[in-house]
Structure 1
Amino acid sequence: MEWFGCRAHQASEALWALVGDGLAYLDRAGQGSGTDNWRWRASALGIKVAAGGGWEPRDPTGYLKRLRERAPSMDVATLRYVEEALGAFNARCFLATSVMLGVASESAFGHLAQAFIDGQPGDSPQMRKLLTNPASSYYKRFEEFRKRLEPIRSDLPTGLADNLTLDAIADLLRVSRNDAGHPTGQIIDEDTAFTHLQVAARYLVKMTELTEHLKPLPF
């Protein structure tokens, strides 16, 4: 038996997966105990997710689609790490969510730092050493990049390097990699992981835009 192009057991698996994610539930309508009275209903959370919009991590397909649309030049590796973060979140592995977002941030920052180095050839050797030193944490490297960016910040497009964005990037790098990414006992709950996914989406878009802006013009 097939329903809408899929077998009955596949439809059943999909529906029970929605129940497991808190997006749907079985409502026993009417009287009696027979299964004929049961109805599949979307939960309040399921209705919210189905409505779409915003950076909703419980809709990973929509989240990634929006990210690709907003930042079409984002590299494949960074997108893959974000996808892993979303998978971890929906599996309720919240510590892993933040760690993977930290890796995505590192990936995006690596491209950003390289674009900055390539666009500042006069200071490349010293800057390259400061921004790519493997002995330094990504948080420290980002703070060094921030100092270097300050003299040209007023020349950048509005919003690409505002203090709020830079603070958010630095904070997530610190929390997700320096704290959560090491055996410190740091606890990440669902609300924190959700907030990290909301913040990360916005600043990863800005980091990608800033990377494109800083790339040297081809000759």
Structure 2
Amino acid sequence: MVTSGKISFNPTNPDLETVRQIVFERLRRDERDWHQLDRTGEGFAPYVEYAGQNQMDWQNGRNRLAFLAEEMFWQLVVEGILTPGWNSDNLNLPWFHITQFGREVLASTEPQPYDPTAYLKRLQERVANPDPTVMAYLAEGLETLRKGNLVASTVMLGIAAERVFLLLCESLEAALANAGEKATFAKLLARFSMKPKLDWVHNKIQQVQKQSSAGFPDNATIMIVAIYDLMRSQRNELGHPRELPPRVKREDAFVNLQIFPRYYETAEETRKFLLSNPV
């Protein structure tokens, strides 16, 4: 929770995800001066509001946060955001610096995959009643990204994206006004292959967009079809045996998780339109 521009921290019931948010906030705002592990916790004062009634409570809060922030430091090292050493004269701990990838993460706009609590909260603000299966695979994708399991993260995200697409297909089938189209699409949905379904949905969405239907997302073709096709291709490439070991760039996994909320939001806007508009 953020109050008065500060993040609330309760040392009697500490939450590592809250600690992550505090550390991220300090890294963003104190990048020039924070190069050394803070064993006192005093440097977090501008960013934290401690629970408690008196100075002793607040001091206990600072001590607890300093301890947990060091644990978070090692998590961020594993994630490639921080690394020990500041310069050629200070190569070891307690000195540290932000990696080039870390700078990209900290400078990126929301949603922020390396802050999963805020990421999922932001998604739930954009998508009312998100599908629990989508959220389960998405949460797994976020967790595996943080642990450096990039192939697993990409596969999990691909499954979440496929679930979103199939929910859209169900809504589209129900909204089809032409009996012939409905029968054709129903046969496609009964098959396992995704490519024919994707092509059919792409053509139908383009047709609806050309009619300039009020309430239909203008960017539906790009956001739904193109992005899902990208994620599907990546998932298929990684999810089947191959001669060479699979490889995923960390930056690619990161960007795909960043664009997923907009993809999901657009799909849900389209489903909402289809509920009351035969096509």
Counterpart of 2:241 in structure 1 is 183
Check the 8 A contact 2:78/2:148 in 1, yes or no: no
TM-score for the superposition, normalised by structure 2? 0.61
- The letter of the residue matching 2:157 is L
Counterpart of 2:258 in structure 1 is 198
Aligned residues: 212
Worse-matched range after superposition: 205-214 or 43-52:
43-52
Task: Report the CA distance between 1:103 and its aligned residue.
Answer: 0.5
Residue 126 in structure 1 maps to residue 183 in structure 2 = yes
d(CA) in 2 for partners of 1:129, 1:10: 54
Residue among 232, 235, 243 paired with 1:173: 232
Identity within the alignment, % = 23
Task: Report the CA distance between 1:128 and its aligned residue.
Answer: 5.0
Structure with more relative contact order (C-alpha pairs < 8 Å, separation 6 or more): 1
Task: Report the CA distance between 1:198 and its aligned residue.
Answer: 2.8
Question: Structure 1 residues 7, 204: CA separation in 2 closer, same or farther (over 3 Å shift)?
Answer: closer
Task: Report the CA distance between 1:12 and its aligned residue.
Answer: 4.1
Task: Report the CA distance between 1:112 and its aligned residue.
Answer: 0.6
d(CA) in 2 for partners of 1:164, 1:104: 15
Q: Deviations for 1:19-55, whole angstroms, at most 9, x for unmatched residues?
A: 33344455689x99xx9xx467766765665667333
Check the 8 A contact 1:131/1:142 in 2, yes or no: no
Q: Which has the larger radius of gyration?
A: 2
Check the 8 A contact 2:217/2:266 in 1, yes or no: no
Q: Deviations for 1:122-156, whole angstroms, at most 9, x for unmatched residues?
A: 537514523422x3322332222222333322334
- The letter of the residue matching 1:90 is R
Task: Report the CA distance between 1:85 and its aligned residue.
Answer: 1.1
Residue 144 in structure 1 maps to residue 200 in structure 2 = yes
Gaps of 5+ in 1: none
Worse-matched range after superposition: 151-160 or 85-94:
151-160
Residue 95 in structure 1 maps to residue 158 in structure 2 = no
TM alignment of 1:41-120, pairs within 5 A: 49=105, 53-120=109-176
Task: Report the CA distance between 1:107 and its aligned residue.
Answer: 0.8
Check the 8 A contact 2:169/2:201 in 1, yes or no: yes
Task: Report the CA distance between 1:210 and its aligned residue.
Answer: 1.1
TM-score for the superposition, normalised by structure 1? 0.75
The DSSP-based 3-state class of the residue aligned with 1:72 is: coil
d(CA) in 1 for partners of 2:276, 2:241: 40
- The letter of the residue matching 2:240 is H
Gaps of 5+ in 2: 1-58
